[in-house]
Structure 1
């Protein structure tokens, strides 16, 4: 696996691999808590483009498309088809990978996928759009830290942004422009993930997981995906927010294990 991007791996080297794709403003270490609770698999998590030990985003390239290309290459190196678990942005990458390269994906676990376009028409989408629109305005006005704090208030682990370690705050502030840059794919569906018949044609089993304390737009997204995917099961983790792979790994682990069994 020397050709993989910077990554971390947990579990026996001869165990079946599971490719794990983290959320925006995070890194591969996001999966450490879950990995400690899964047995019989080797969890391989690569840093997404622009994150962790990857080069900084150049401000222009399509990070979502790049992330899909890198995930496809990783799946091939791990011995496709491979099981894939993704969280938030990473879950949308996992879904796009399965749609574009079904030969590479055996089973999917989508934790809080932020394919916001799937919620269009739901009142929760309007509320999301109002909050989301403030980020590019704040960034353009030189308020990257304020934008990161606003983003974290909705999508973080529940703590106040100001209470986070200084290094973590700086890491998020430095990358906050990545968030509105994904609107084309995640909000306008420029990759046509929701095109007529496309989700319906996905044949691999899909586990959809969300937290009951997540922003309401997540439930609206999951409702659409559960309705349109032909082999999907939906699970809710009581009391969990958007960062449930970190905060509620103990509740997520048995759901993942059962799906991969």
Structure 2
């Protein structure tokens, strides 16, 4: 089963499952998860081929949705699910295939469509780091800077470094091979009729008006909101605003 980071709570709200995006980990969501745990229990996962979870040659959304289903089944009741980017796609497939496991669904800055961009430059940048020369994360950041200009992204990637073992906690070879699947979206039948929010960064172009018909077909109760001044990594760029939006959605009608 996936590695989980659990934040227990005395609160009585529906438990929340947080699903990170490509190159991320549950640890990236630690602050937001802890803050949300004043409502009820929060679990953040490491997806397959990420963090401290198992490595696999498969990285399809069907497989990732099955992983999430096992986590929810293990806790014995439906959960509210918050998924960002790749994690948002996995959460959507979970909700469409196993709607009995999802109470409310929040999809952060992604749509159920195929994207034309590539994440391969970032994989190649990480592959190019000479880990034998890395003693601290700043050493890796300095090497990444040759290919990745944004210091925020450099810091984000180096959170997936195991400094002691001098290895990436990312299965870069499989993620590269599975990139077409990661950028795509599977042909999933059915609908998820539960409350759904597509929360985007106002400066991001990941969720466009062109994708709304597809979204509404799969998620008839979908609502849309944007966080001003945020891009694709909206939870990292505007954490308080993101948290407030999550709370408002999850608590609506409670």
TM-score by structure 1 length? 0.73
The CA deviation at 1:72 is: 0.4
Q: How does 1:123-138 map to 2 (within 5 A)?
A: 129=116, 131-132=117-118, 135=120
Which consecutive segments of 4 or more residues in structure 1 shift more than 4 A? 148-153, 160-170
- Distance in 1, Cα, partners of 2:152 & 2:31: 21
Question: 2:20–2:84: 8 Å Cα contact kept in structure 1?
Answer: yes
**Secondary structure class of the residue paired with 2:206:** helix
Q: Greater helix share, 1 or 2?
A: 1
Residue 257 (structure 1) aligns with:
247
Give the match for residue 121 of structure 1: none
What's the offset of the Cα at 1:145? 3.8
CA contact (8 A) 2:32 2:239 kept: yes
Q: Is the 8 A contact 2:25 2:46 kept in 1?
A: yes
Deviation per residue, 1:69-123 (Å, 9 max, x gap): 1100111122322111111111111110011011111110100125332xxxxxx
Q: Which residue matches 2:229? A: 239
Aligned to 1:71: 68
Deviates more, 1:230-239 or 1:246-255: 246-255
What TM-score does the superposition give when structure 2 sets the normalisation length?
0.74
- Please give the secondary structure, in 2, of the residue aligned with 1:56: coil
Give 2:203's aligned residue: 213
Structure 2: 5+ residue runs without aligned partners? 130-143, 162-166
Residue 28 of structure 2 corresponds to which residue in structure 1?
Answer: 30
Structure-1 separation of matches of 2:54 and 2:145: 23
Aligned pairs, number: 228
Query: Among residues 55, 62, 80, which one is paired with 1:83 in the alignment?
Result: 80
SS of the counterpart of 2:82?
Answer: strand
